Amino acid sequence: MLTVMARPRKFDEQQVLATVRERFWAGGYAGTSMDDIAAATGLGKGSLYGAFGGKQHLFHRVFDDYCNSVVDATAQQLRGDDDDENAYARLSAHVHAVAAATVADTAQRGCLLAKGTAELAEHDKTVADRAHTAIEALHALLKDDIAACQRNGDLDANADPGRLAALVLSVLRGIEALGKAGADEEMLTDIARTALAVLPRPAN
Amino acid sequence: MLTVMARPRKFDEQQVLATVRERFWAGGYAGTSMDDIAAATGLGKGSLYGAFGGKQHLFHRVFDDYCNSVVDATAQQLRGDDDDENAYARLSAHVHAVAAATVADTAQRGCLLAKGTAELAEHDKTVADRAHTAIEALHALLKDDIAACQRNGDLDANADPGRLAALVLSVLRGIEALGKAGADEEMLTDIARTALAVLPRPAN
DNA sequence: CGCTTTCTTGACCGCGTCGTCCACAACGGG
DNA sequence: CCCGTTGTGGACGACGCGGTCAAGAAAGCG
C-alpha cells in the first residue's frame, strides 16, 4: 500500500513565519488582523488557518520561535568557546550589544518577548509561561558567564553569581524598556557602561 | 448677560477615568473596545464620546494621568522633606517598594506606562512622547536623590549622579518587565538589594 | 484517465468595532 | 410656560474581525 501524494505547499513556512512575526511585532496581537497577515504573506486566509490553526496558535508559534532565537543569540554571545578567560569580555560585549541594538531601534519597537508579555501575560497563560521560561534561560546564561568571570578573577568570587546575573538581566530588560520609551543613545550607553562598572571586583 | 445653565453631568469624571484606566490597563488599547468601556463605566457611548472625544483621546488622557501619577508617587517617595540625611533611606525604600509592588502584581499586569509604550510607542507619537517625558522625569528624581546621597556621604561623590540614576532607573524598569514575565519574589527582591549594594560607596 | 489526498483561495457568515445621530432629558433664566 | 444650552443613551451605519466553506488545483499511483 503506497502512500498517496497530496498537493504540495506553495509557500515556504519559515518565510511566512518571519513575515507573520514582523507583523505581530509591529502591530501587537490584538492590533494585527488576519487580513493584515494574509496581505503581508500573500497567502489566502484559508491557507493560513489550514497551516497554522488560527490567530492565537500563529501568535504562540511566532512568540515561541522568537523567545528561542533571543535565548540562542544570547547563548552564542555569552558561551563562546567555553573558556573563563574571555567570559568578562563576552559579558561586556553582550551588554553593549543590547544597548547598541536598542539605540538602533529608532522605531522604538522593542523586543517581541517584552511586547508580547506586556500585552498578553495577564490573560494568556501560554504566553506568560513561555516568557517565564525565556527569562529563566537568559538568567541561567548570565549566571554561567558571571561564574566564569569569577573563576577567572574578573569579578569578586564572593558575590552570588545568580544574584549578579539577576541584576544584569534586569538592567538589560530595563534598557529595552527605556529604549521603547525614547531614552537617548547617551543614556542607554551609560547604563551599559555603569552596569558593568558597578559589578563587584575581586579584592586586591 | 447671565450664563445659561446646561444639563449637568450625571457621572463623576474622575471615577469614570479610573474605571477606563483599569480597562485599558487590563486589555490594552487595541484589545479594549468602547463597548467594554461603556459597560464598565455604565455610561452610554454617546456620553463617552461627548465627554472625552473618542477612543484615542480617552486613552491619551488616561495614559497622561497615569504617567503623572507614577512621577508624583516617585517624587513623594524620593523627595521627602528635602534633607540629604535620609536620601539614601528614601532611595532604598523606593527601590524595595517597586520590587514589592511587582511581587504583589500576581496578575502580571505590570504598569500602564510600560504597557502603553510597548503597544503604541512605535505608531502613536503622543504616547511615545508622553512616555519619554515620564522617563526623563523619573530619571531627574533619581538623580536628585542620588546627588543628595552623595552630599550626605552615603554614596561615592566622585560618581556621576546622572549615570547612577540611569542605572537605577533601568533596574526599576527591568524589575517591572521581569515581573510581567513571571520572575519570582526571590529574584525581584534580590535585584533590588543587589542594585543598591553595588552603588559605589565613598572611599574610606 | 480516475482516484485519493491535501492545498489554495476568497467569498461568505455571524458577530464585533468605532463613531454618529437624534429624540429626549435636565438645568437656569425670562 | 418657552427658550437655549449641554448631557444621555442606544439604535444605527459602515466597516472590520476570526473563522468557515466549497470549488478547483496539484501531486503520485494504478
> How does pLDDT run across B167-190, given as a tens digit for each residue?
999 999 999 999 999 999 999 999
Residue of B nearest to A136 (CA): B183
**pLDDT, position B83:** 79
What are the grid coordinates assigned to A6, written together?
Answer: 497530496
In a domain, A173, yes or no: yes
The tens digit of pLDDT for each residue in B99-154 reads 999 999 999 999 999 999 999 999 999 999 999 999 999 999 999 999 999 999 99
pTM of the model: 0.94
CA of A10: nearest nucleotide by C1' is C7
Q: Is A144 left (phi over 0), alpha (psi -120 to 50) or beta?
A: alpha
Give me the pLDDT at residue B80, please: 75
Note whether residue A19 is domain-resident.
Answer: no
Domain annotation covers residue A165: yes
Contact (Cβ atoms closer than 8 angstroms) between residue B87 and residue B145: yes
Residue A158 C-alpha cell reads as 564572593
Nucleotides of C under 7 A from a protein CB: 3-11, 16-22, 25-30
* A93 belongs to a structural domain: yes
The distance between the two most distant Cα atoms of chain B, rounded to a whole number of Å, is: 75
- pLDDT exceeding 70 applies to what percent of chain A? 97
- Domain membership of residue A118 (yes or no) is yes
For position B1, what pLDDT does the model report? 41
- Residue A1 binned pLDDT confidence (cut-offs 50, 70, 90): very low
Q: Alpha-carbon distance B197 to B204, whole Å?
A: 16
B4 sits within 7 Å of strand D by its CB: yes
The residue type at B70: V
At A116-162, the pLDDT tens digits run: 999 999 999 999 999 999 999 999 999 999 999 999 999 999 999 99
Tens of pLDDT, residues B31-84: 999 999 999 999 999 999 999 999 999 999 999 999 999 999 999 999 877 678
- Burial of residue B49 (CB within 10 Å: 0-12, 13-18, 19+) is middle
What's the confidence (pLDDT) of residue A4?
66
Alpha-helical runs (H) found in chain B = 13-27, 34-41, 45-52, 55-79, 87-104, 112-120, 125-151, 161-180, 185-198
Distance CA(A163)–CA(B190), nearest Å, equals: 6
Look at B166 and A114 and tell me if their CB atoms are within 8 Å: no
The answer as to whether A192 is a domain residue is: yes
Q: Provide the number of structural domains found in chain B.
A: 1
Tell me, what CATH number does B134's domain have?
1.10.357
Residue B30, phi then psi, degrees to nearest 5: -70, -30
Contact B166 A187 (CB under 8 A): yes
Residue B87 lies in a domain: yes
Q: Is B2 helix (H, G, I), strand (E, B) or coil?
A: coil
What interhelical angle do A13-27 and A55-79 show, nearest 10? 90
In a domain, B17, yes or no: no
Tally of CB atoms within 10 A around A30: 16
Residue A124: give the domain boundaries.
Answer: 59-198
Write the DSSP symbol of residue A199: S
The A 45-64 residues near strand D by Cβ under 7 Å are 45-46, 49, 54-56
Amino acid letter, A19: T
Q: Are A116 and A64 in contact (CB under 8 A)?
A: no
pLDDT of residue B6: 83
A26-77 per-position pLDDT tens digit: 999 999 999 999 999 999 999 999 999 999 999 999 999 999 999 999 999 9
DSSP-derived secondary structure letter, A119? H
Listing DSSP states for A65-123 in one string gives HHHHHHHHHHHHHHHTTS-STTHHHHHHHHHHHHHHHHHH-TT----HHHHHHHHHTTT
For residue A187, what pLDDT is reported? 98
Distance A62 CA to D23 C1' (A): 32
Task: Provide the CA B167 to C1' D4 distance, Å, integer.
Answer: 59
A7's grid cell: 498537493
Q: What is the pLDDT of residues A176-186, one digit of tens each?
A: 999 999 999 99
In contact, A133 and A67? CB cutoff 8 Å: yes
